[in-house]
Structure 1
Amino acid sequence: MPDMLVKLYDLPDNGALLERLRGQGIVIKRAMTGDKQAIVDFVGRHFTESWRNECEVAFAHLPVHCYIAVKQGEVIGFACHEVVVKNFFGPTGVLDEYRGLGIGKALLLECLSAMHQNGYGYAIIGWVEDALAFYEKTVGAIAIPDSFPGVFRDLIKLG
């Protein structure tokens, strides 16, 4: 479960993907504080308590450090940045029934673009379990050797 490093100054354009998703009734947007409870509850219901806690931290920043995918007024995916430590992407998740449509890619690129706009040249994708190939292919991320558990090593309960 290594961390990964990604260049933020060389990200692929996200415009065509966002437009294609809009054509399917899926909107990718930055979360707003008024939607905090609904989004945090969504993450807690469909993912892990740890991710729920991290997502909640995203709302301590303005603008909010969370992007969401919405279809017919319902959250179907999310991605956060800078909620564990500065310059880290994650957590992120998309409901099973919507995977494979490019939603995760769109959320990733929106977060990484926001991080680049905030002045970072590189970002860390933290604690990558099953998505190494996805991040390598999508944004050219590379695994950081000996990076697990990294910044997570001081958690009371790892995992």
Structure 2
Amino acid sequence: MADMIVHLYALPSLHSSSADLHSRGFTVRRAMAYEREAVVEWVHTTFNRFWASECATAFGRQPIGCYIAVQEKAIKGFCCVESTFRNFAGPIGVDREVRGQGLGGALLNAGLEELRQMGYAYAIIGDAGEPSFFAKTAGAAVIDGSTPGPYPPRLR
């Protein structure tokens, strides 16, 4: 899968969607240090160990580079920034049961907004698994020649 680039200075506004999410009982926020074990375990169980490792790394920076979507004290999604490389967004994932409700967009927007606030003009979405989602949500474009990109072969 290719990497994608996002123009942070031209991000679409998703603020109206966060009010809608809140009215349906969802909160999107930065994860707290004491939630590390629960979040990393949820990512491992819901997705895979590779994403869980990247998520654990996001907890090692200040401020924490992991955003979570929560409903009734249960994790429903996550998005990490700067966990594998500087200026990279991802991994990002939403529980299958609540996909299509705007959580992925809200999580991605939170992460990209953090990168914008850090002074970046562009962000990279590494190894983008759903290019159409990133293109629609953030105006991301595929970076030609970015496969396999900076990633070495994964250890087993």
| AA aligned opposite 1:53 | S
Structure 1 equivalent of residue 149 of structure 2: 150
What residue in structure 2 maps to residue 28 of structure 1? 28
How far apart, CA to CA, are the structure 1 residues paired with 2:63 and 2:154? 30
CA distance, structure 1, for counterparts of residue 144 and residue 92 of structure 2:
22
Report the counterpart of residue 39 of structure 2 in structure 1.
39
CA–CA distance in 1 between the matches of 2:96 and 2:86? Answer: 29
d(CA) in 2 for partners of 1:14, 1:37: 29
Deviations 1:122-149 (A, max 9, x none): 00000012x1111111111110111011
Match of 2:69 in 1: 69
Poorly superposed stretches of 4+, deviation over 2 Å: 155-158
How far residue 62 of structure 1 moved from its aligned partner, in angstroms, is 1.0
How much is the aligned-residue C-alpha RMSD, in angstroms? Answer: 1.1
Equivalences for residues 1-159 of structure 1 within 5 A: 1-129=1-129, 131-152=130-151, 154-157=152-155
**CA–CA distance in structure 2, aligned partners of residues 157 and 2 of structure 1:** 20
Q: CA deviation at 1:15?
A: 1.6
Identical residues among aligned pairs (%): 41
Distance 1:50 1:156 in 2: 9
- The two structures have a TM-score, normalised by structure 1, of 0.95
Give the Cα separation in 1 of the matches to 2:14 and 2:40. Answer: 25
Unaligned runs of 5+ in 1: none
Q: Structure 1 residue 157: deviation in Å?
A: 3.3
